[in-house]
Amino acid sequence: MPASAASIEVALSEAKSFVEAELEALLPAPVGPEAKLMTAMRYAVLGGGKRLRPFFVIESGSLFGVDRRSLGRAAAAIECVHIYSLVHDDLPAMDNDDLRHGHPTVHKAFDEATAILAGDALLTHAFAILAAADTHGDPFVRCELISRLAQAAGHGGMIGGQVMDLAFEGAKPAQHEIIRMQRMKTAALLAFSCEAGAILGKASQPLRNALVAFGQELGLAFQIVDDILDAEGDAGALGKAARKDAARGKATIVAEIGTERAKTQSQAMVKQAIRHLDLFGEKADLLRAAAEFVVSRKH
């Protein structure tokens, strides 16, 4: 039985509450003359967001019966990495954004030095969380999570993609270059979120690969939808400035092929993504429905 939109909203909302409680517990308390750092870390992390990456960690891990504590910690670590990337991307030297989730960005609410350092501290903390024995009893599993996270988030993944994104501003990259950039900038961490559940569950390589492939395709579709929303943008609903991509000459699929064709393409990509889950049968119905849901979002 396919999952209904209502049941997906419930699952997303449950994952959000669960990981937010976990983050609240795992983030350091603000104390001492350095309290501003921890306050900024908490401000950045606890200020909102859909918590999609945590949702995919939890749902993919649930396919293999992974326990809640492991899922919560891995989900929190990945969310810390996602948030650090937003904090740094928002800086004046990068996208220079004043608003995120309807609140002032970290460098606006605090200052630039604090934003840089809070981002650094969140990235570092993510690895501390994953390395701790509480995340999984088997240190091979913990090392595998760390290794793959570092790849997804590093020069060959998210950071490399961000550098390409900046390099492409005002340029005319080919469509395959834009796709490669978005595969690195956005899809790599989403794919790792899906893979993390498989790693924690010591899944067989084919099942793990299927989740990675699902996450990769979904990540690309997700990025296109993000770009469509920016192009059609309503800042109030988005909680951040809209129509920024065009203003900055960002290279996006939407800029390349237009909004309507981009919509069609994102739908096709989601179908493609979901096909990778065939191996799991109906156990993956919620993941499939969530993928459709996420890409049909309006903000």
Spatial distance between the Cα atoms of 12 and 3, rounded to a whole number of angstroms: 12
Q: Which two tokens stand for residue 46?
A: 């606890």
Closest distance to a second copy from the beta carbon of 220 (Å): 18
Out of 33, 65, 170, 206, name the contact with a second copy by CB under 8 A. 33
Using CB under 8 A as the binding rule, whether residue 294 contacts a second copy is answered as no
> 29: exposed, middle or buried (C-beta count within 10 Å: 0-12, 13-18, 19+)?
exposed
Out of 73, 88, 100, 276, name the contact with a second copy by CB under 8 A. 88
Instruction: For a second copy, give the closer residue by CB, 192 or 293.
Output: 192
Instruction: For a second copy, give the closer residue by CB, 6 or 29.
Output: 29
Out of 71, 86, 164, 187, name the contact with a second copy by CB under 8 A. 164
Cβ proximity of 99 and 239 under 8 Å? yes
Binding-residue pattern over the window 123 to 142 for a second copy, x denoting contact by CB under 8 A: xxx-xx-xxxx----xxx-x
Using CB under 8 A as the binding rule, whether residue 112 contacts a second copy is answered as yes
Binding-residue pattern over the window 39 to 68 for a second copy, x denoting contact by CB under 8 A: --x---------------------------
Interacting span for a second copy (CB under 8 A) from 62-70, 88-96, 186-194, 217-225: 88-96
Tokens 């395709």 belong to residue: 217
Q: What is the DSSP string of 199-226?
A: HHTT--HHHHHHHHHHHHHHHHHHHHHH
Closest distance to a second copy from the beta carbon of 71 (Å): 19
Spatial distance between the Cα atoms of 38 and 122, rounded to a whole number of angstroms: 10
Closest distance to a second copy from the beta carbon of 204 (Å): 20
Q: Which residues contact 192 (CB under 8 A, 6 or more apart)?
A: 78, 148, 149, 151, 152, 153, 212, 215
Interacting span for a second copy (CB under 8 A) from 7-15, 66-74, 173-181, 231-239: 173-181
Instruction: For a second copy, give the closer residue by CB, 107 or 240.
Output: 107
Spatial distance between the Cα atoms of 228 and 263, rounded to a whole number of angstroms: 8
Q: Which of 244, 234, 257, 58 is nearest to 174 (CA)?
A: 257
Q: Which residues contact 241 (CB under 8 A, 6 or more apart)?
A: 97, 98, 99, 233, 235
Using CB under 8 A as the binding rule, whether residue 268 contacts a second copy is answered as no
Summarize as ranges the residues that interact with a second copy (CB under 8 A): 28, 32-34, 36-38, 41, 84, 88, 91, 93-94, 111-114, 116-117, 119-121, 123-125, 127-128, 130-133, 138-140, 142-144, 146-147, 149-151, 153-156, 159-164, 166-168, 173, 177, 180-181, 184
